[in-house]
A and B are shown apart, each in its own frame.
Chain A
């Protein structure tokens, strides 16, 4: 059941383009269950939502609420037990070319330098070396790694490696960008800077984006809408529209309106997180 409550504090001019044609992504009544019989675990239960073109949506929830399971299902990396995921009007049954995925874990190829990592999807399409390097350079510049083209991932920081992953995904020109806690392993300052960078790219490319995260401030800073998930089984508990003005500069992030949205989401999330904590303590006991 979806209970939607708008807690908009102001109207963001031009933040969300008016939808036209079928929504880029439709998640319809998706359930994912692991195992069978009495020991079966329902990770995601009857989740439904759509993404409009150019929209930035975050999914937030406590640990163990099925966020990553949902990510794998939408990315076509895991089957659904029930329900369907549609990209535009096409029901997916595996990874879809229109969906670009950025993983939580460090996922650059350690044996390829930065430019060859980013050029990887183009290499698969048989694009010539000079053309794919020119295209890869464009995305490397976009994520702010100009000058690091010939470096190996082992010579880069965690934040830089994650930017390489983002550039590689963008090089495939996906219509939908799907990100699973891409900044989770990074320090707070790098997270904030990288969040800004992702937002800037998303605005520049008008990229429809779905971000899985457990950071409330990150979700509020980046998103047009936030889907709050309940603790196990993962359901959409509430949808929050974030109508803060863009660009979300430090003034916006430090505004009382931003704080109010964060506090409001935390009130919901705390209840779920406490439930998760109690259940895991009971499990250990």
Chain B
């Protein structure tokens, strides 16, 4: 397999596009076409990074948000994939519950945060449970889709080699469904992270979400945007891990 170099034309294009947009933004704000009271100068945001890291305890907050996202993602993985498999295997269960899962995936569950607060208290557990609840449905749905879209002929190949049900699952169904399952995991992770940071913001507890809340209330706009960049870093970190995981599993067949 050919390895894609890190500094590929695609990478340069993406970095160049972001840099170009930042330059345009800088120019628009400096000429006051965009109000500096709404969006701070990108140069001010860049300058505030170190200050926010040192003064606001970003490493600790980063770790809290990463930890909560990791715990919620693990729960999503442990529950979402088996639920998807169960609904794939049992048609009647699927008929009964798939529409509910689809509704759950589309619902703004973050609005139910007061209920979760009552149930689990103002703690990281609440944040993890809300992150899990928001991310589990797309994983289960995509798992069902992955298994049901496995081409019939591949299952027939397995049957022709007289695979046991466990071998059929391990050797054919799971690898065939893996790309779809990872699409679900990516979607689930997006929902999970949005909800975790959102709830941290709303209940003013924990990691980067709480930091964004604090900085926004102090009207520290460059700091607020810098904190948002740290959330993007969490997202990049999890997507990179997911990408590595998918490639590793694909290599193992």
Contacts and interface: CB of A to CB of B under 8 A. Distances in A.
Interface of A: 75-77, 94-95, 97, 99-101, 103, 105-107, 109-112, 116, 120-121, 124, 150, 152, 172
B157 A124 contact: no
B246 to A, nearest CB: 11
Contact of B161 (A103, A112, A124, A150): A124
16 contacts: A94-B159, A94-B162, A95-B160, A101-B157, A109-B154, A109-B157, A109-B172, A109-B176, A109-B253, A111-B175, A111-B178, A112-B253, A120-B161, A124-B167, A124-B171, A152-B1
A111 B156 contact: no
A97 B154 CA distance: 17
Given A109-B172, A111-B253, A112-B253, A103 B153 contact: yes
Q: Decide if the interface of chain B is mainly helix, strand, loop or mixed.
A: helix
A265 B160 CA distance: 32
Contact of B157 (A99, A103, A150, A152): A103
A95 B253 contact: no
B172 A124 contact: no
Given A97-B162, A105-B151, A111 B250 contact: yes
A116 B253 contact: yes
A150 B253 CA distance: 13
Which secondary structure characterizes the binding site on chain A?
Answer: loop
B253 A101 contact: no
Interface string B36-48: 0000000000000
B168 to A, nearest CB: 11
A103 B156 contact: yes
B32 to A, nearest CB: 53
Contacts of B156: 77, 101, 103, 107
A107 B153 contact: yes
Centre residue among A103, A116, A152 by max chain B CB count within 10 A? A103
B75 interface: no
Contacts of B163: 124
Given A94-B159, A111-B175, A121-B161, 17 more contacts: A76-B160, A77-B156, A77-B160, A94-B162, A95-B159, A97-B162, A101-B156, A101-B157, A103-B153, A105-B153, A107-B153, A109-B253, A111-B176, A124-B161, A124-B167, A124-B171, A152-B1
